[in-house]
């Protein structure tokens, strides 16, 4: 019986451990988190620092924005996030490109009108000059 106990503990330990993130995945995760905070704070400098000049920012309703349009909307409060919670995030990295998927659950106050959004998001990040920058984003509504 004791001969079966030790292998059981090894197998149990192996399968219950969460896989560790690579340093690249951690860096992308940190960039996503800083972007999330900057979107809540309306911090123009932070937003511009983490967004590529070639940004294509797709909304669930079909609107596509450039970097300038995206940043201006957040900074002016036309798109005002009060809270943003990200769930079920996955990160896949291939060279200098990272694909991030997650659910976004947020409360907002767009143009002074309180609301909620529940979206599935696809983010494409690209490493530019040693820093991960948001290159593209597409959202769909969660049914």
Q: CA-CA distance, 55 to 123, in Å (whole number)?
A: 11
Over residues 2-33, the pLDDT tens digits come to 555 444 444 444 444 445 579 999 999 999 99
Inter-residue contact 80 to 110 (CB < 8 Å): yes
SS3 state at 130: coil
pTM of the complete model:
0.83
Residue from 117, 121, 127 nearest 97 by CA:
127
Which CATH number is 53-143's, of 3.30.1490.20, 1.10.357.10, 3.10.180.10, 3.10.450.50? 3.10.450.50
Over residues 58-85, the pLDDT tens digits come to 999 999 999 999 999 999 999 999 999 9
């Amino acid at each position: 019986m004791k001969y079966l106990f030790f292998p059981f503990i090894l197998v149990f330990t192996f399968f219950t451990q969460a896989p560790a993130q690579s340093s690249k995945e951690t860096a992308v995760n940190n960039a996503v988190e800083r972007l999330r905070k900057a979107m809540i704070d309306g911090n123009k400098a932070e937003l511009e620092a983490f967004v590529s000049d070639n940004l294509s920012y797709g909304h669930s309703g079909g609107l596509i924005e450039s970097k300038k349009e995206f940043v201006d909307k957040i900074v002016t409060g036309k798109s005002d996030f009060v809270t943003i919670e990200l769930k079920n995030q996955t990160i896949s990295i291939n060279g200098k490109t990272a694909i991030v998927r997650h659910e976004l659950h947020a409360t907002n106050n767009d143009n002074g009108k309180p609301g909620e959004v529940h979206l599935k998001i696809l983010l494409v990040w690209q490493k530019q000059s040693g820093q991960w920058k948001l290159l593209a984003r597409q959202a769909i509504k969660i049914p």
